[in-house]
Amino acid sequence: MQSRFFPLRLSAGARRELLEGLVARSAERIGGRAPLIVFDLDGTLLDNRPRVVAILHELADHWRDTHPVASAAVGKAENNDIRYGLIDNLKHLGVVEPELLAAGQRFWFERFFIDDYLRHDVALAGAVSFANRCYDAGANLMYLTGRDTPKMSLGTLASLRDCGFPIATVGTSLVTKPAFDIPDDRFKRETGALLERVGPVLAVFDNEPGNCNALLESHRACVSILLDTHHAPNPPELLSGIAVIDTFET
């Protein structure tokens, strides 16, 4: 299913020009300072659909004896079946009973937002190479995510390391929410206003249109890029000048 932003996606050639240009500009110094590139994680650098699939397969095991039909349905889940919301995922797979939808939602919620399951995430195509090339050229990298510090920071560090992204070294930082219940958009907006403390913002990447807008409003000279993978329902229109891509492949 095509997203509403599909028509705005850059062509392969334009995407290559954009990304290669950012790698080249990573070597620049602005007022003597290295530029900063800011990446969101879920749906931006990382594909979390395998995490959802792993949880659904566990749910299938959990339901095998008590709800065999629903168990068989969710046990067949694959990456391409995964949509934004868990309830939508279950309905898409054929689970429609209200009590099972509620139980499945609880089962997913107890697992999706903890360190142990982040090992299932995989890098988007081209993301590891692009991040490393920007870092090696001289840019500072910040991973600015709506994941929270208490339950997800350690797993996130391990996931970034294991995927091959630059992390835990000079010029890289991971910024997570101090508490789970802080709305992601508020956290991104408030934290985004402070990014110049690290360096002049060269580019920001996010899968949520609202975050792309907010970060561009705070840093008008930056390049704001939407990863058109998945996003929350009813997104706002993109501000003029925001680029849309769905991969880091060049």
Q: What is the pLDDT along the chain (250 residues), one digit of tens a residue?
A: 578 999 999 999 999 999 999 999 999 998 999 999 999 999 999 999 999 999 999 999 999 999 999 999 999 999 999 989 999 999 999 999 999 999 999 999 999 999 999 999 999 999 999 999 999 999 999 999 999 999 999 999 999 999 999 999 999 999 999 999 999 999 999 999 999 999 999 999 999 999 999 999 999 999 999 999 999 999 999 999 999 999 999 9
Q: pTM for the complete prediction?
A: 0.96
**Domain residue limits, the chain:** 6-47+122-245, 49-119
Question: Which helix (H) or strand (E) is 188 found in, with range?
Answer: helix 184-192
Alpha carbons 44 and 228: distance in angstroms, whole number: 8
Alpha carbons 73 and 68: distance in angstroms, whole number: 9
pLDDT score, position 1: 57
pLDDT score, position 3: 86
Q: How many CB atoms lie within 10 A of CB 99?
A: 8
Q: Annotate 140-178 with b (16+ C-beta within 10 A) or e (fewer).
A: bbbbbbbbbeeebbebbbebbeebebbbeeeebebbbbe
pLDDT score, position 141: 98
By DSSP bridging, strand 122-123 and strand 201-206 are: unpaired
pLDDT score, position 2: 72
CATH 3.40.50.1000 assigned to 6-47+122-245: yes
Alpha carbons 40 and 210: distance in angstroms, whole number: 13
Structure tokens belonging to residue 2: 């095509």
Contact 180, 191 (CB under 8 A): no
Cβ neighbours for 88, distance < 8 A, ≥ 6 positions apart: none
Tell me the CA distances in angstroms from 113 to 18, 52, 151, one per residue in order: 33, 11, 7
